[in-house]
A and B are shown apart, each in its own frame.
Chain A
Amino acid sequence: MLKTINLTKKFGNFTAVSNLNFEVKKGEVLGLLGKNGAGKTTTLRTLATMLKPSAGTAQVCGYDLLKEPEKVREHIGVLFGGENGLYDRLTVAENISYFGELYNMNQKSIRERLHLLTEIFEMQDYLHRRTAHLSKGMKQKVAFARSIIHNPQLIILDEPTSGLDISAIRDVHQFISACKKTGQTIILSSHLMFEVEKLCDRIGLIHRGCLIELGTIAEIKQKFHSDDLEAIFLKVVGENS
């Protein structure tokens, strides 16, 4: 589903992502762990074709990042944490439908998908309210629904629970689990150990733009002879800093 080949991104002299090589299989959830500024967001932005790689490339859903960026975007759904990027003056339904139209969906498909997502995300009560008047948790649900309106094969989530309260975090976790059950592939970034332990099949530790560990949680724990992922993370980062 996703394969990066020496993926590198530089900003001037600064190398944000260096020679990244990893694969994500269909239906798998990969978590990218790293400190702030480690290169997680840059990696996800590059995979979402928002940033152009300085070197290397990636195959996303069978399409090359550099050669067919539009095709790549057609098959991915992207959600950034923190700012949910909704249009405050549009209603929930309008926000979601707008993205459906941008993905070339016809009105019937948009209506059907909107109906389904409204039920999954329990948005019935505020579907026709402008998003400016919603709580942060509600907004995150809408943003999540909007990012998967076109039923993408790969979902890219950049710190999806950033700034949310416990109840909203639980909701987001449930949605990710639900997506996983339906066979969708997910790559997410986080700095919350419990989150990746709970949701991810495999994790990749990113430090200073380099992928320094990649494997299942069990494999990594076994390798470092520890059950504490946080301790492992600090050890790995500490050793390399």
Chain B
Amino acid sequence: MNLRHIIIVFKKEVIDLLRDRKTVFATLFIPMLLIPLLNLLLSSGVKELFNEINENVPVALAQDSNTPEIIALVKEEIISKNNHIQLLNAQNPYQALHLDKIRAILSFEKNYQTKLQAKEPFRIQIIYDKSQNKSAGSIEIIAQAITEFNQAVVAERIVSLGGKAEMAEAAQAELVNIADARQVNNSFLMLILPLMIGILMAVGGIPAATDLVAGEKERGSLEPLLATKPNRQSILFGKYLAIALFSFISVLASIAGLIFSYFINPQSSSLLGEVSTSGMNIPPLAILFVLAIAFTLGLTFAGIQVALSTFARSFKEAQTYLSYLIFAVMIPGYATLFTQPSDIPIYMFFLPILNTLSAIKIVLGGYIIYRYLAMALLSSFLYVFAALLFATILFNKEKVLFRS
């Protein structure tokens, strides 16, 4: 291998790729714009749905419950304390529920009045449609209103018997959170960031890899290049480094997009949730480890991308092969999505891809064990070497390189 030749090929490939609008668009602009755009669209949709569920809760009475007495009871004693619930008069309550005009139908037991006067419990059915987000989402608000009515009636009965109103309540639940701010803030990132980085590393270099080997084969420009002075390893490494660079550019563009989307819409709950950077306090050494491990994952994928692009007979075939790489991250990523940092077994830090996902997860989860991070980094280097060896073998095989 000749470093000078590697640099010459690398420089040429970078210039060539930068002039390719398709590659620049796919590598830089799509990752940079996609996350903010998705965030804006999803968060505005979620916010709208959230407001609809909590602030506009129309209900109607079932036809056999639609009597002046029940209407008065609901309006004055059940929903009077909650401004967001409105009682509508629907001719056909089931159709109204189906058409999303009301969130639920209240159906009172026939002899409810007798039971109420006899101080016996009576049943109110809350009929809702679980297949509709708004109906399912509003149900707790309606149930809460009935619970409060219940408590008020019980308190009234206790008072009438000479007791205190407080006797209606046996215990009060109080939530005490012992997680520190860092853990709370990192929990969402811990869930999504490892998978996101893994996926970006797997797909970021695809446009460049497709173009630089399979594309060159198809355009007939690889053969003259192979007939020049540099050996195949130097040519391969020049191309490999260009693919790795574009892969990292793509990841950085996505992270820039993520940060940008946070700044334009910090309240968004769809992608960044309630994440705040104020409580994050990750040691610099751990950050360095994570960066190095993620970097080596990118180098591994760049090697695999070169190999697959070399194996492909055409540009289209390369695109097909390379698109499957996303599953290589998604399958282990989703399988371990909810694994807590402290539950990650040690062997995970040796397995390809999982080592990177696990390393990022333990750092973001505040469960930093440097020995594990070192294992992940070391095994990552081995995978880079294996990927490069695989790519070199394929690039040197006539049957593969010139197959048609």
Contact = CB atoms under 8 A, between A and B. Distances in A.
Interface of A: 45, 48-52, 69-70, 73-74, 76, 78-80, 82-90, 94, 98-99, 101-104, 143, 146-147, 156
Nearest to B235: A102
Contact of B223 (A50, A70, A101): A50
Given A90-B16, A101-B8, A78 B227 contact: yes
Contacts of B277: none
Given A80-B224, A147-B224, A103 B16 contact: no
B19 A98 contact: no
B4 interface: yes
Given A51-B398, A78-B227, A99-B228, A85 B8 contact: no
B24 to A, nearest CB: 11
Nearest to B398: A51
A49 to B, nearest CB: 7
B4 A104 contact: yes
27 contacts: A45-B223, A48-B227, A50-B402, A51-B398, A52-B398, A74-B229, A82-B220, A83-B220, A83-B221, A84-B220, A85-B219, A85-B222, A85-B225, A86-B221, A87-B12, A87-B221, A89-B19, A90-B16, A94-B15, A98-B12, A101-B8, A102-B8, A102-B228, A104-B4, A104-B229, A143-B224, A156-B227
B47 interface: no
A103 B219 CA distance: 22
B55 interface: no
Contact of A102 (B219, B220, B230): B230
Contacts of A143: 224
B329 to A, nearest CB: 31
A187 to B, nearest CB: 13
A73 B398 CA distance: 17
Contacts of B4: 104
Nearest to B230: A102
A51 B5 CA distance: 21
B237 to A, nearest CB: 14
A102 B5 contact: yes
Interface string B226-250: 1111110000000000000000000
B220 A80 contact: yes
Given A84-B220, A98-B8, A50 B20 contact: no
B230 A90 contact: no
A76 B227 contact: yes
A101 B220 CA distance: 20
Contacts of A50: 223, 226-227, 402
Contacts of A49: 227
Contacts of A45: 223
A117 to B, nearest CB: 16
Nearest to A44: B227
A83 B16 contact: no
B236 to A, nearest CB: 14
A124 B109 CA distance: 96
B393 to A, nearest CB: 14
Given A52-B398, A102-B8, A85 B220 contact: yes
Nearest to B401: A50
Contact of A83 (B15, B219, B228): B219
Given A73-B227, A73-B229, A80-B224, A90 B15 contact: yes
Interface in B271-312: none
Closest 6 CB pairs of A and B: A83-B220, A78-B227, A89-B19, A85-B221, A85-B224, A102-B228
Most buried by A among B220, B226, B227: B227
Given A85-B219, A87-B16, A78 B229 contact: no
A134 B220 CA distance: 16
Interface string B387-404: 000000000001000100
A145 to B, nearest CB: 12
Nearest to A82: B220
B229 A102 contact: yes
A94 B15 CA distance: 10
A101 B8 CA distance: 7
Given A51-B398, A98-B8, A102-B8, A88 B228 contact: no
A49 B398 CA distance: 11
Given A50-B227, A90-B16, 11 more contacts: A50-B226, A73-B227, A80-B224, A82-B220, A83-B219, A83-B221, A88-B219, A90-B19, A102-B8, A102-B9, A146-B224
Interface in B197-233: 219-231
A102 B232 CA distance: 12
Nearest to A74: B229
A41 B228 CA distance: 17
A78 B228 CA distance: 8
Contacts of B16: 87, 89-90
Contact of A85 (B9, B15, B223, B230): B223
Most buried by A among B15, B225, B226, B228: B228
Most buried by B among A50, A74, A80: A50
A191 to B, nearest CB: 19
